[in-house]
Amino acid sequence: MTDHTRADVCAAAIADAFADDGEIFASPMGLLPTIGARLAKLTSNPDLVVSDGESLWLASAPAIGRTGVVEGWIPFRKVFDIVNYGKRHVMMGATQVDRDGNQNISALGDFAQPTRQLLGSRGAPGNTVNNRTSYWVPRHSPRVFVEAVDVVCGVGPKRARTAGVAASKYNDIYRIVSNLAVFDVRGEGDTVRLLSLHPGVTLEEVVAATGFAFDVLRSASGEVATTREPTSEELHLIRDVLDPKGLRLREVPEPEKAAS
């Protein structure tokens, strides 16, 4: 019996994405990435620099929505300095991600007259050619994981290489974490590759929820890894310190239990 939720597994997987970053600016967009980055700061990577998502660098890793002691100032203009400086790992959302690790948050359909206008490219083009970039997908589906995105905002490794050395030298699409699994882009030809399935998720389930064929990292015996379960310390930090209101359960609801 386990007492953790899928959202807790996702938080720990996101924390793992920031574990080896050292002393850089972790820039998570949205709720679960924020919980995950702060969890990394409280466990695997105390040197991580985290912000309030607006203009302050926080000395500690407080609960969502809290500030605590401030250790620096990061107004938007300085964010661009840090992007160009490179000591940053951003975890963005993605309305679409494709097989080559390109991401779209701009618009769906034809750019000239979209069927659905989204945010715009935001900082995705600059992030992906300047600093480490990961994506978070709370609802893994074939509508998100598509063969080719409608508008390339976040630049995957193949596009970066084609664009030349200036685009590729700092391109580093590191992890794609969804509510089902963890991926990187080290598949054949720098394509999306499955690294681990969250506990209780089957490979068939992920294949069915993904709109393109992907490589799978397997052990010598042919096994697919299972995303690790959060430790009891992590569960305490997630539940009691970072997200006592349980907001994460709204972003990642518990999967329906299979009929027994």
With binding defined as CB under 8 A, does residue 164 bind other proteins? yes
Dihedral sign from CA coordinates of 99, 100, 102, 107: negative
Tokens of 78: 């300085």
Q: Figure out which of the listed residues 22, 68, 120, 246 binds other proteins, where binding follows CB under 8 A.
A: 120
Q: Which of 167, 182, 185, 242 is in the footprint of other proteins by CB under 8 A?
A: 167
CA 211 to chain centre: 19
Q: Which is nearer to other proteins, 27 or 45 (CB)?
A: 27
| Segment near other proteins (CB under 8 A); pick from 2-10, 115-123, 175-183, 246-254 | 115-123
Strand pairing category for 132-137 and 145-146: unpaired
> Is the CB of 135 or the CB of 194 nearer to other proteins?
135
- Cα 209 to the chain's mean position, in Å? 18
- Residues 6+ positions from 151 with CB-CB distance below 8 Å: 104, 106, 107, 111, 121
By CB under 8 A, name the one of 159, 175, 198, 248 that touches other proteins. Answer: 159
Binder among 14, 31, 48, 83 for other proteins (CB under 8 A): 83
- At closest approach, how far in Å is the CB of 202 from other proteins? 32
107 forms part of the interface with other proteins (CB under 8 A): yes
Contacts of 85 (CB under 8 A, 6+ apart): none
CB 37 within 8 A of CB 50: yes
Q: Residue type at 43?
A: T
Total interface residues for other proteins by CB under 8 A: 46
8 A C-beta contact, residue 237 and residue 39: yes
CB of 96 to other proteins, least distance (A): 12
What does the binding site for other proteins look like in residue numbers (CB under 8 A)? 54-56, 75-77, 80, 83-84, 106-107, 111-126, 128-130, 151-155, 159-160, 162-167, 169-171
